[in-house]
Amino acid sequence: MSIWRKLKKLLRSRKGLIALATILICLTVYAMMFTGADEESREVMSYEQGQLFFGLSKEGVLTLYQGPPEDNQVIETFFRIDTDLLKSELPEEKLRQLKTGIRINNAEDYETVIATFKPFAAEY
């Protein structure tokens, strides 16, 4: 019996349909998980290297800028930072760097900064 006939027979049963639906959902979720980050990183890296900075906006939001934060050319905003928690957990140098701007040279730098400051996201 060919594979297509076996597949047709399987799909005629309710269990077969459920199994196929489960597999398709898993594949879709898997694809979404791994393509989203890559697309975002590619988009970020489309800017001229060395011209991207993470900084802290006046409102205390982690922000990606084109150029130094004082130029205020916002590309994307992320989440509000609990600066009191940040001061208590990380060296004062990290907050100073964030206020003056952290240069992003590649996708790894981008991911590292987000991962570093994500635990300090303020809860509303």
If asked whether residues 77 and 98 sit together in one domain, one would say yes
Q: What is the mean pLDDT of residues 104-115?
A: 90
Do 59 and 108 share a domain, yes or no?
A: yes
Per-residue pLDDT tens digits for 42-83: 555 555 566 899 999 989 999 999 999 999 899 999 999 998
What gap in Å lies between CA 46 and CA 2, rounded to an integer?
Answer: 48
Question: Is the pLDDT at 36 greater than 70, yes or no?
Answer: no
Give the domain range for residue 22.
3-45
Judgement on whether residues 19 and 64 belong to the same structural domain of the protein = no
- Residue 33 — left, alpha, or beta (φ > 0 → left; ψ -120 to 50 → alpha)? alpha
Return the higher-pLDDT residue of 39 and 4.
Answer: 4
114 contacts: CB under 8 Å, gap ≥ 6 = 62, 78
Residue 106 identity: N
CATH label of the domain that carries residue 86: 3.30.70.1740
Q: Are residues 57 and 112 in the same domain?
A: yes
> Domain tally for the chain?
2
Does 62 share its domain with 116?
Answer: yes
Q: 115 falls in which pLDDT band (50, 70, 90)?
A: very high
